[in-house]
Amino acid sequence: MCPAEKMVAEHADKARMPGRPQSEELDRAILDAALDALSEVGFEALSIADVARRAQTTPPAIYRRFVGKTQMLLAALEHDLLTIPDAEADHGSLRADLEWWVRSIFEALSPRRTRILASLGFQARTNPEPLALFSATIDRLGASHWATIIRRAADRGELTRTDIPGVIGKVPGALAIQFALLHVCARDDGMIAELVETVMLPVLLAAAGPDGPARPQPHP
């Protein structure tokens, strides 16, 4: 386990203060308010008082749940990232699975998450823990989804191997982050189909080895 992953794994043990069970509705309001504040004002300017105002509660109510700002934001990020869908559904073909997956990556990088990512990257030198959580969670989800899609394609006979280089699976996420941060273009189905058809499928089929199946025919 790398230092960043160890730091992320340990944060849950220190994030919440001991005490009586708290209101789940207020918990969600605080976490959502924390994310809104982080995306709007950044980490350094964010305050417990502002989050309390946004959540329509009081600073003591937040301090009963979290020992400080960093722990509150770690919990908020973890809660938010759990809403990213998994890759369990079988869409019938490697192409369809890839199109769903790439679309889900672009959709997961919402405007709020993009602003949060930019904010966390800016302040990572002084407080790396929130960005480490964000990055480790995204990498873990991406690796899991990628492995599921590759295994499923091998089971169908579309790929002859499952030991595909993991770097190939990082391409859609890297493009999504670049497009979002630089405002290159909005996500659209045509662009996703082009990415899958001209980049992901050819590289995957090449990586499957010379005995792999013929390249699937494009949609009519």
Q: Residue 136: which domain range?
A: 94-207
Half-sphere exposure (Cβ direction) of 219: Cα atoms closer than 13 Å: 11
The label of the residue with tokens 């079988």 reads 90
Rounded distance, CA 143 to CA 203, Å?
17
For residue 66, give the 3-state DSSP assignment.
strand
- Boundary-marking domain end, from 81, 102, 131: 81
Among 45-59, 138-152, 164-178, name the most confident range. 45-59
Is residue 170 in some structural domain? yes
Taking residues 90-110, what's their average pLDDT? 88
Task: Write the single-letter amino acid at 56.
Answer: Q
In this structure, the answer to whether residues 142 and 168 fall within a common structural domain is yes
DSSP class per residue in 68-107: SHHHHHHHHHHHHHTTS--S-S--SSHHHHHHHHHHHHHH
In this structure, the answer to whether residues 37 and 126 fall within a common structural domain is no
Taking residues 131-156, what's their average pLDDT? 84
Q: With beta carbons less than 8 A apart as the criterion, state whether 48 and 62 touch.
A: yes
In this structure, the answer to whether residues 203 and 102 fall within a common structural domain is yes
Residue 169's Cβ-count burial label (10 Å; 0-12, 13-18, 19+) is buried
Taking residues 178-192, what's their average pLDDT? 73
In this structure, the answer to whether residues 164 and 187 fall within a common structural domain is yes
For residues 14, 17, 22 and 25, what is the CA-based torsion angle, rounded to 10 degrees?
-50
Is residue 108 in some structural domain? yes
In this structure, the answer to whether residues 196 and 138 fall within a common structural domain is yes
- The DSSP 8-state label assigned to residue 15 in this structure reads H
In this structure, the answer to whether residues 99 and 154 fall within a common structural domain is yes
DSSP class per residue in 161-196: -S---HHHHTHHHHHHHHHHHHT-----HHHHHHHI
| pTM, entire model | 0.70
pLDDT > 90 in the chain, percent: 30
Among 41-50, 112-121, 173-182, name the most confident range. 41-50
Give the CATH number, domain containing residue 23: 1.10.10.60
pLDDT band at 54 (very low <50, low <70, confident <90, very high): very high
User: Quick one: pLDDT at residue 20?
Assistant: 42
